[in-house]
Structure 1
Amino acid sequence: MRRRLINSTLAVVLVVIAVFGISLVIVETRTIESGARESVQSEAVRLVSILDSRLIGGERVESGVLSEQITPDRYARVDIPGRAAIEIGERPEGDVIASTERGEQGETVRVEESRSAISRELGRTLMVILAVALLAVIAAVFLAVRQANRLTAPLTDLAETAERLGSGDPRPRHRRYGVPELDRVADVLDASAERIARMLTAERRLAADASHQLRTPLTALSMRLEEITLTDDPETVKDEATIALTQVERLTDVVQRLLTNSRDPQSGSAVTFDLDEVIKQQLEEWRPATRSEGRALVRSGKQGLRAVGTPGAVAQVLATLIENSLMHGDGTVALRTRVTGNQAVVEVTDEGPGVSPDLGSRVFERTVSGRNSTGLGLAVARDLAEADGGRLELLQPYPPVFALFLSREAGDHGESPED
């Protein structure tokens, strides 16, 4: 493309130079020749005028006096009746330009000039025209190369950007070139890069969230299946299988919820549900794990609360908080329900060291963790809570109190607490 641009520009310039150059040469040739004829004629008229004045005054007429009145390199012949012809200068050979004039006293003056003088003048003019044309060609080459570089360099850069996008590097370059069409292409590529970056981020986030959030249900399901393999009691097998099926349903709900959040984090599927049932299910699920750790899992506060949200998401949030208490906390893990305004609140606390001061509110940020963990659990839990209009907060760092706030169904009532 670069070569084509240069060649096309040079072709246009050469055509323009040829057209105007030939026209200029023709015009200059005619002008020089016409000027030479007028000069010869003017000189002949002047000599006739001088001769008339001298003849009328009776002055002497000779070549020495007249030679001063004629331009060098020109030839003049003066014929006066009754006198010998007077010749001034050397008569040119070959083709000449001549002018003959007759005076009032009967004298005749003929002035001649060789066409070689015109040719020399025309040659000088042609040299000037050629020099100007050469300068024009050099300037055209310089401008063509510069313009070609200005156009091809951005195209090469845009091709590299497209290649980077194709190779999986979605970083936008935000380069502009001062050419509206190329800048438009750059805008489109940058917008595509940003979309690809968001898509890749969402995919990586989904993979990380799925690997983290599926771990707990799979662990619980594995524990139930182990209980089944270790017992011969049909009733125990039936109970454990029922709980395992519940875990499978929860696992399916978690997967569906993660997929929904990956498409639209605000696309909640909130319904009114019995909060006690979700808490009861979590207590049954986590009590074996707490017992194996030599710890207790208790519940207190208001009962009979009906909240608005997604039961599976709420269960996942509570599971994350309980798991964090088991991993990073100590002592009894306590769940407490209460009401504040038009919201139902579930608090999860333990007797451990709590959240270090340097973490503070950053505890919900992704990859932020006070221990050797992924730092995804609380971040995903907050996303799940906010997707249905709730929120997850750290009420106090020590002892650690995490609170899940959910919208409460109007008109629900609470009963006596149960420890």
Structure 2
Amino acid sequence: MRQRVVRVALTAALVALVLLAVPLALAIRSSLYAGQRDALERAALAGAVRVNPDYTRGDPAELPAAAPHQLLGLYDPQPGLRAGTGPRGGDDAVRRALAGKVARSSSGGELVAAVPVSHAEQVIGVVRASSPVADVRGRVLVGWGALGGVCGVALTVAVLVARRQARALAAPLEDLSRHCRAVAEGDLTARAAPSTVAEIDQVARTHNDMLHSLSELLRHERDFSANASHQLRTPLTGLQLTLEAGLAQDDARSALQEALAATRRLHETVEEVLRLSHTAGLPRPGAPVRPVGQLLAQAEERWHGLFARDGRRLEFAAADVPKDARVPGGPVAEILGVLLDNARIHGRGTVRVTVRDLDDALAFDIADEGTVTGDGVRLFERGHSVGEAGAGIGLALARDLAVSLGGRLTLAHGAPTTTFTLLLPVSRERTGVQGDAGQSGA
């Protein structure tokens, strides 16, 4: 591209110089020749003024001194040279001047100007001035040489400017090409830098936006895979244990009922993870709602046995929550599941789930007797786990689910006990917003 820009600029400069230089060169030549003829005519006229008319009766004729490289002579009507220098016989210019008009000609390698000398309305002689054509040609060549030098300087400047402009145009495109090559090799963090060319900047911004969208899409795909793997691991293990226990019993009806309930929970988990991947963590009003009491009862039924097998207590307290308070059932159940599983694996002692009424919102406090050290904000970053055995996925997933509901999940305090607080906007039956139609989303 750089060579192409230089070639285009050089071609344009050459065309412009030819269009300007050729007429200018012709003008220089014409001007120098015309100037020399004018100078000869002035010299001849000055000589004609000084000629004494009595020269025709034998008096000496006086002519002014000729300029360097000029010949100045007086010719009588015959015509013959009477004074000064020049050809002995008059040439065509002298014969035409004898007719009473100023004559100019170019012959024999000379420029000639002849002026008639008049007396009593008669032409009594002619003053002829001449100079070699080579003198004028030399000055013309000098002028053309100066013009050529100016053209050479102009071409040099044009090439330098073209090369600089080519670098300015090609460098951003080469940088963009390198970034595209890096992306093709798998580096999705490569970003094109801004340049001084608006059009190239627009392409770079479009490239960066496209790459950002692609990175976000891939991140959502990875997050979905990690979230699904993390959230399905525990239910699948429970389902496997239930089915194995049912095989060991004569009456497998209860085991099948438990397995069916676990399958429904698996379905809800998959639906929530898919919904979260589609909404990309953005608020999503209108999710199916259910009463808070029903939600807590289902959570207690699901998690009480797991904590009991570990010799730990699980307590729920929601005495001050109005009966008409409703929250999105599936997402909140997943968030509570993540927090309870986190408390079971990484926490200690009794786990308490407390629900507080804040008028237009509900606060879910999940507390255990363990401690958490470190930055409470970084705790929710994907890949950062509370304990060494964690994958760093659960809390990040719970935070994204809370944000998708228009709420917020925070670490209220990490010592001497650990408490996570989930704040959620609440709908109530008496307001007419999202009524009993959401109860079917169990």
Q: TM-score range by the shorter chain?
A: 0.7 to 0.9
2:116 equivalent in structure 1: 102
Tell me which residue corresponds to 1:221.
Answer: 239
Is the 8 Å Cα contact of residues 291 and 327 (structure 2) preserved in structure 1? no
2:66 pairs, out of 70, 92, 98, with 70
The one-letter amino acid of 2:230's match is H
User: Quick one: distance in 2 between partners of 1:96 and 1:343?
Assistant: 112
- CA–CA separation in structure 2 for the residues paired with 1:51 and 1:93: 26
Offset of residue 394 of structure 1: 4.0
Q: Deviations over 1:226-248 (max 9, x none)?
A: 3223x2231xx221221122111
The separation in 1 between residues aligned to 2:143 and 2:377, in whole angstroms, is 87
Identify the residue that residue 436 of structure 2 maps to in structure 1. Answer: none
Match of 1:375 in 2: 392
* Aligned-residue offset at 1:165: 3.6
Matched, 1:51 2:48: no
Counterpart code for 2:69: D
2:379 touches 2:385 (CA, 8 Å); kept in 1? yes
Alignment-mate amino acid for residue 315 of structure 1: A
- Measured against aligned partners, the alpha-carbon deviations of 1:239-276 in whole angstroms (never above 9, x if no partner) come to 12211221111112111111111221222553342434
Counterpart for residue 230 of structure 2: 212
Gaps (5+ residues) in structure 1?
413-419
Q: Is the 8 A contact 1:44 1:110 kept in 2?
A: yes
Structure 1 residue corresponding to 2:144, chosen from 117, 121, 126: 126
CA positional deviation for 1:172: 6.0
CA distance in 2, matches of 1:227, 1:104: 147
Letter of the 2:372 counterpart: V
Q: Does 1:243 align with 2:258?
A: yes
CA gap of 1:321–1:95, structure 2 versus 1, over 3 A, is closer
Residue of structure 2 in register with 1:417 after alignment:
none
**CA distance in structure 2 between the partners assigned to 1:102 and 1:336 by the alignment:** 130
- 1:354 alignment counterpart: 371
TM-score, scaled relative to structure 2: 0.79
Tell me, yes or no, if structure 1 residue 409 matches structure 2 residue 428. yes
Instruction: Provide the C-alpha distance between the structure 1 equivalents of 2:87 and 2:207, rounded to a whole number of angstroms.
Output: 82
Aligned counterparts of 2:44 and 2:159: Cα–Cα separation in 1: 51
Q: In the TM superposition, what is the alpha-carbon distance from 1:70 to its structure 2 partner? A: 0.7
Report deviation, 1:189: 1.5
**Alignment of 1:5 onto 2:2:** no
Q: Tell me the SS of whatever aligns to 2:111.
A: strand
Q: 1:214 is paired with a residue of what secondary structure?
A: helix
Q: CA separation in 2, counterparts of 1:84 and 1:7? A: 63
Q: 2:195 aligns with which of 177, 183, 187?
A: 177
Considering only aligned residues, what root-mean-square deviation do their CA atoms show, in Å?
3.4
Match of 2:83 among 82, 86, 90: 86
For 1:311, the equivalent position in structure 2 comes to: 329
Question: What do residues 347-403 of structure 1 show as CA deviations (whole Å, max 9, x unaligned)?
Answer: 4333x33333x3345544444434212333223223323433454444443333334
> Across the two proteins, how many residue pairs are aligned to each other?
403
Deviations 1:75-116 (CA, angstroms, capped at 9, x unpaired): 222246999823337999933222233334634322222222
- Give the Cα–Cα distance (whole angstroms) in 2 for the partners of residues 382 and 195 of structure 1: 22
- Checking the alignment, whether the CA contact within 8 Å between 1:308 and 1:408 is kept in structure 2 is yes
Judging changes above 3 Å, is the alpha-carbon distance between structure 1 residues 359 and 183 closer, same or farther for their aligned structure 2 residues? closer
Unaligned runs of 5+ in 2: 89-105, 432-442
Q: 2:189, 2:54 → 1: CA distance?
A: 99
Q: 2:102 maps to what in 1?
A: none
| Whole-angstrom CA distance in 2 between matches of 1:213 and 1:169 | 30
What pairs up with 1:221-300 in 2 under 5 angstroms? 221-229=239-247, 231-234=248-251, 237-264=252-279, 265=281, 266-300=283-317
State the match for 2:92 in structure 1.
none
Runs of 4+ aligned residues of structure 1 deviating over 6 Å after TM superposition are: 53-56, 80-84, 89-93
With 32-41 and 44-53 compared, the bigger mean Cα shift is at 44-53
Is the contact made by 1:76 and 1:87 (CA closer than 8 Å) also made in structure 2?
Answer: yes
SS at match of 1:85: strand
Indicate if the aligned counterparts of 2:317 and 2:355 stay in contact, CA closer than 8 A. yes
1:146 aligns with 2:142: no
Aligned to 2:99: none
User: Are residues 1:325 and 2:321 paired?
Assistant: no
For residue 132 of structure 1, report the CA deviation from its aligned partner. Answer: 1.8
CA distance in 1, matches of 2:350, 2:273: 30
Cα contact 1:93–1:114 (8 A) shared by 2: no
Aligned CA distance change for structure 1 residues 170 and 52 (closer, same or farther; 3 Å) = farther
Tell me by how many angstroms 1:218 deviates: 1.9
Q: Is the 8 A contact 1:52 1:104 kept in 2?
A: no
User: What CA distance in whole angstroms lies between the structure 2 residues aligned with 1:402 and 1:130?
Assistant: 85
Look up the match of 2:17.
Answer: 17
Amino acid paired to 2:71: Y
Residues of 1 paired with 2:81 and 2:5: CA distance?
Answer: 73
- Relative distance call for 1:44 and 1:338 in structure 2 (3 A) is closer
Percent identity of equivalent pairs: 27
CA distance in structure 1 between the aligned counterparts of 2:357 and 2:107, rounded to whole angstroms: 127
In the aligned structure 2, how far is the partner of 1:411 from the partner of 1:27?
99
Secondary structure (helix, strand or coil) at the match of 1:315 reads helix
Contact 1:51 1:61 in 2 (8 A): no
Q: What is the one-letter code of the residue matched to 2:74?
A: V
- Please tell me whether the aligned partners of residues 74 and 89 of structure 1 are also in contact (alpha carbons under 8 angstroms): no
The code of the aligned residue for 2:264 comes to E
Shift of 1:300: 4.6
The answer (yes or no) to whether the contact 1:366–1:375 under 8 Å persists in 2 is yes
Structure 2 CA distance for partners of 1:306 and 1:113, relative to 1, 3 Å: same
TM-score (ref. length: structure 1) = 0.82
Secondary structure at the residue paired with 1:285? helix
Q: Which whole-Å deviations, capped at 9, do the CAs of 1:257-297 have from their partners, x for residues lacking one?
A: 11111221222553342434433333333344323323333
Contact preservation (8 Å) 1:100, 1:110: yes
